[in-house]
């Protein structure tokens, strides 16, 4: 290869890389849904809903879409005079698309029905695929504290790690971002309501295949 040929190849590669980066940036600018690439560092303790929303907001800002309002898809349970909060009521009306511009649901009803959430579409804010069942480590358990229809659980049994303030004992309901589980039952395939965790710490969340990750939605 001559010197001029090498230079041409290098320039071509640089232009292709720049074009690819520009396309990714443009797609992320329209992103309205993502799975968090990191957890709180304190298991399921985000300091409540407000802290979880801030976590979503911070990651969105790092991805270049922080000027918009983001909400964590989390429910809370009634406690004393405080009423329960439904995850489905916090996230706007849709439609929502991932970092690659793929629409995962056009409305709240579709999100909780025949949505387009799969391992390939439930991407992080960086556009990365979340490790699913069969991967090492498995991180497909996404914290939700939510029933399949997007509503909060009733009763005294902890389904939200103390409304997202516990990092020790307790439990929270998670969904599978890859829609895959131990079998083909509806809970195993559920994106938002699959099973409870065995605790609220990072170590406990890892035991069932999680990393303290959240679903974040643009609250339009």
- Give the tens place of pLDDT for each residue, 59-75: 999 999 998 899 999 99
Q: What is the dihedral of CA 144, 155, 199, 74, to 10 degrees?
A: 20
Q: Are 32 and 123 in contact (CB under 8 A)?
A: no
Domain 31-218 has CATH 3.40.1500.10: no
For residue 17, pLDDT beyond 50? no
- Give the tens place of pLDDT for each residue, 182-203: 999 999 999 999 999 999 999 9
Region 178-182 average pLDDT: 95
- The pLDDT-based confidence of 220 (bands split at 50, 70, 90) is confident
pLDDT of residue 80: 87
What is the pTM for the complete model shown? 0.87
Helix (H) or strand (E) holding 153: none
**What are the domain boundaries of the chain?**
31-218
pLDDT of residue 12: 43
Q: What is the rounded CA–CA span in Å between residue 67 and residue 70?
A: 9
Residues 6+ apart with CB under 8 A from 138: 131, 132, 209
- Give the tens place of pLDDT for each residue, 18-57: 434 444 444 567 899 999 999 999 999 999 999 999 999 9
pLDDT of residue 22: 44
pLDDT of residue 28: 66
The mean of the pLDDT values for the chain is 90
Instruction: Give which of 165, 150, 102, 126 is closest to 38, Cα–Cα.
Output: 126
Region 200-210 average pLDDT: 97
pLDDT of residue 180: 95
- The pLDDT-based confidence of 115 (bands split at 50, 70, 90) is very high
Q: Are 107 and 93 in contact (CB under 8 A)?
A: yes
Q: Are 66 and 29 in contact (CB under 8 A)?
A: no
Task: Compute CA distances 3 → 6, 12, 14, 217, whole Å.
Answer: 5, 14, 17, 50
């Amino acid at each position: 290869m001559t010197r001029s040929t090498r230079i041409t190849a290098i320039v071509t590669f640089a232009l292709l890389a720049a074009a690819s980066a520009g396309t990714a940036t443009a797609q992320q600018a329209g992103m309205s849904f993502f799975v968090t690439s990191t957890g709180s560092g304190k298991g399921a303790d985000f300091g409540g809903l407000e802290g979880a929303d801030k976590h979503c907001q911070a990651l969105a800002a790092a991805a270049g879409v922080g000027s918009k309002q983001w909400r964590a898809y989390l429910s809370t349970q009634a406690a004393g005079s405080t009423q329960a909060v439904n995850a489905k009521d916090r996230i706007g009306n849709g439609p929502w698309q991932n970092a690659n511009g793929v629409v995962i649901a056009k409305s709240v009803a579709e999100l909780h029905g025949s949505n387009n959430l799969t391992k390939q579409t439930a991407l992080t804010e960086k556009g990365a695929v979340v490790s699913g069942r069969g991967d090492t480590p498995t991180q497909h358990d996404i914290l939700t504290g939510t029933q399949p229809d997007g509503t909060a659980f009733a009763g005294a049994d902890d389904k939200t790690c103390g409304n997202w303030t516990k990092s020790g004992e307790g439990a929270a309901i998670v969904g599978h971002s890859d829609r895959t589980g131990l079998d083909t039952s509806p809970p195993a395939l559920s994106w938002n309501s699959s099973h409870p965790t065995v605790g609220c710490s990072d170590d406990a969340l890892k035991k069932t295949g999680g990393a303290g990750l959240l679903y974040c939605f643009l609250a339009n």
